[in-house]
Amino acid sequence: MRKLIILFLAVLSLNAWAAADYAREQRWADEITPAILVGDPIRLALPSGRKFLAIHAPNAKAQAGVIVIHGLGVHPDWGLINPLRSNLSEQGYATLSVQMPVLASEARGDQYPPLFPEAAERIAVAVEFLRKQGHKKVAIVAHSLGARMSNVFLNTPGAPAIDAFVAIGISGEFSKPETFKAPVLDLMGDKDLPAVLDNAAKRAAAIRNIRGSGQISVAGADHFFNGRERELVQQVKLFLDRSTR
């Protein structure tokens, strides 16, 4: 009986993490939207009707739009996401930073896969939004768990096509890289997390035959590019310039 109770509690615990924490999303939105300096907060809608936050920074001269995707459990103006979306919007790109579904603050990355289908759905909506804005080229720039979510989006049959993918600090290996149709930049810091660094060679091999793809390690940068934001934006822009123009 004791073993059955323990098993039941374990299953219950797993199920507790299976649903997105929409209340936490709303708290993030309430906290960050009054302080947004670059771009405007908008609400995009899933086919189900559920809406989610995005920050749109248009650029009248932009030929390409960039979807910027945050990492584990945070928001679309967090940490390195802010300099990425802000600087790229000032350097020739329209940016759309998108809120991904989140779990409770205590949740680990390995508890997030049940949210990946909705994350992929949100990315698809973001791609269509930028296409409707008139952007002929659309790229994804994603950090950490957001890069893993983007990878799942790219693996999804029937997903809207994109023109470039920047995976910043993605852990493990690429999932189903044979489904990638656009150039990929695997970008990391040389002081990144072990799960990122230990699998770098496998990721490089996976994208070696995808035209225009490559891998870059930024000297002195950690997983969050603290103090190396300028180099981060520079490397992303150089890749986007080659891939989308």
Q: What is the pTM of this model?
A: 0.91
| pLDDT reading at 15 higher than 90 | no
**pLDDT band at residue 207 under the 50/70/90 scheme:** very high
**pLDDT band at residue 63 under the 50/70/90 scheme:** confident
The 10s digit of each residue's pLDDT in 220-244 is 999 999 999 999 999 999 999 999 9
The 10s digit of each residue's pLDDT in 107-125 is 999 999 999 999 999 999 9
Show me where the domains of the chain are located: 20-244
Average pLDDT, whole number, for the chain?
92
> Comparing C-alpha atoms, which of 80, 35, 38, 28 is closest to residue 58?
38
Q: How far apart are CA 159 and CA 39, in angstroms?
A: 26
| pLDDT reading at 6 higher than 70 | no
Sheet (strand 93-98) strand order: 40-45, 51-57, 93-98, 64-69, 137-143, 164-168, 184-189, 214-218
CATH fold of the domain at 20-244: Rossmann fold (3.40.50)
The 10s digit of each residue's pLDDT in 71-108 is 999 999 999 999 999 999 999 999 999 999 999 988 99
Three-state SS across 221-238?
CCCCCCCCHHHHHHHHHH
Q: How far apart are CA 86 and CA 122, in angstroms?
A: 21
**pLDDT band at residue 60 under the 50/70/90 scheme:** confident
- The pLDDT of residue 18 is 63
| pLDDT reading at 41 higher than 90 | yes
Q: Which two tokens stand for residue 240?
A: 């986007």
**Strand pairing category for 184-189 and 214-218:** parallel
Give the DSSP H or E segment for 87.
Answer: helix 81-90
DSSP per-residue letters across 4-20: HHHHHHHHHHHHHTSS-
Three-state SS across 127-146?
HHHHHHCCCCEEEEEEECHH
Q: How far apart are CA 62 and CA 151, in angstroms?
A: 25
